Amino acid sequence: CWSWSTAKHVLECPAEAHDQRFRPIDCTDAMEMGTLMHALILEPETLDDRFGVAPSIVKGNGGWTWEGADSVWRLKKEADAALAGVMGDRFLVTKQLMDDLQQRCHQPRVHALANATETELAMVGQIEGCAVKGKADMLTKGAIIDVKTTSDIKPAAIERAAYQRRWFGQVWTYGELARQAGFDVTQYGIIVVQAPRVSGSPLKLSSSRQPRPSWRLVWLSDAAVEYGENEARSVWRAIRDCEASKTWPDYDESEINPPRWARSAPVQDEAF
């Protein structure tokens, strides 16, 4: 089965979608933080296995160490390497950042606990002849709701992100899979949680003023649902056709043009 996160690339480049299915790209820090916030809202029981709070490495009279460590290291990079060995493969954040994320995710989690009849609902089905899998974040009272994080939650920014990141087709796909599983789906929504801006590794809050902890539930309009259905069906048809033909075309442009917003002004002859 195909997941939306991989299949959506087929509209831009089938070869890229095929490649990512078998050779997934590494997660960036921003992607990891989004996954962490998602877990804080819907799967807090998985936090200890996937994420860790790293103690601060400080320099004392004897060298670099952290609270509770048995040794002291002459160089900070040596202490960093030792701490990484202790913490294992978990994604590490500072305590300050974890406290900030918990504050941001508290109200969305309360909402999920109070309203969701199903969370993290794994589903499989067929759309346009393509085998599809998906995991709906929330199913509640006939509505499919997906959780997203972004640092900008102005309405125009959310609309732009939904278009660029193909959220419309994703939510519609989850709704269609839920209908095939026997659920009555009549609404589609997105819970948008405002993420902090971070830098450094382990991740740290930046020194600039952070966006306020904020979240809201936005519903897809009838036009957005129609767009999402068209987008999703285009994705799954393209996957079906590529699988049937066993061909996955690469980018096909043989020339480049200036972007649509660039204007070319004619050069005026000057008299001297």
Tokens of 181: 């599983």
User: What average pLDDT does this structure show over 48-63?
Assistant: 86
Highest mean pLDDT among 29-33, 49-53, 226-230: 226-230
Say what the pLDDT of residue 90 is: 86
pLDDT of 256-272, one tens digit each?
Answer: 888 888 888 788 877 76
pLDDT of 87-110, one tens digit each?
Answer: 888 888 989 999 999 999 999 999
Cα–Cα distance, 176 to 81 (Å, whole number): 47
Q: H helices of the chain, where?
A: 4-7, 14-22, 29-42, 47-50, 76-87, 95-115, 155-164, 167-180, 222-245
Cα–Cα distance, 112 to 96 (Å, whole number): 25
Rg (CA), the chain: 23
The answer to whether the beta carbons of residues 40 and 102 sit under 8 Å apart is yes
Tokens of 19: 């490649």
pLDDT of 214-254, one tens digit each?
Answer: 999 999 999 999 999 999 999 999 999 999 999 999 998 78
End-to-end CA distance of the chain: 70
User: What average pLDDT does this structure show over 74-80?
Assistant: 88
User: What average pLDDT does this structure show over 55-75?
Assistant: 86
The answer to whether the beta carbons of residues 2 and 133 sit under 8 Å apart is yes
Predicted TM-score (pTM) of this structure? 0.86
Residue corresponding to tokens 């990512």: 20
Say what the pLDDT of residue 89 is: 83
Cα–Cα distance, 202 to 97 (Å, whole number): 10
**Res 61 pLDDT > 80:** no
Estimate to the nearest angstrom the gap between the alpha carbon of 236 and the chain centroid: 20
**Res 55 pLDDT > 90:** no
Cα–Cα distance, 3 to 20 (Å, whole number): 11
For 269: left if phi > 0, alpha if psi spans -120 to 50, otherwise beta; the answer is beta
pLDDT of 105-148, one tens digit each?
Answer: 999 999 999 999 999 999 999 999 999 999 999 999 899 999 99
pLDDT of 150-177, one tens digit each?
Answer: 999 999 999 999 999 999 999 999 999 9
Residue corresponding to tokens 């599983």: 181
Say what the pLDDT of residue 144 is: 97
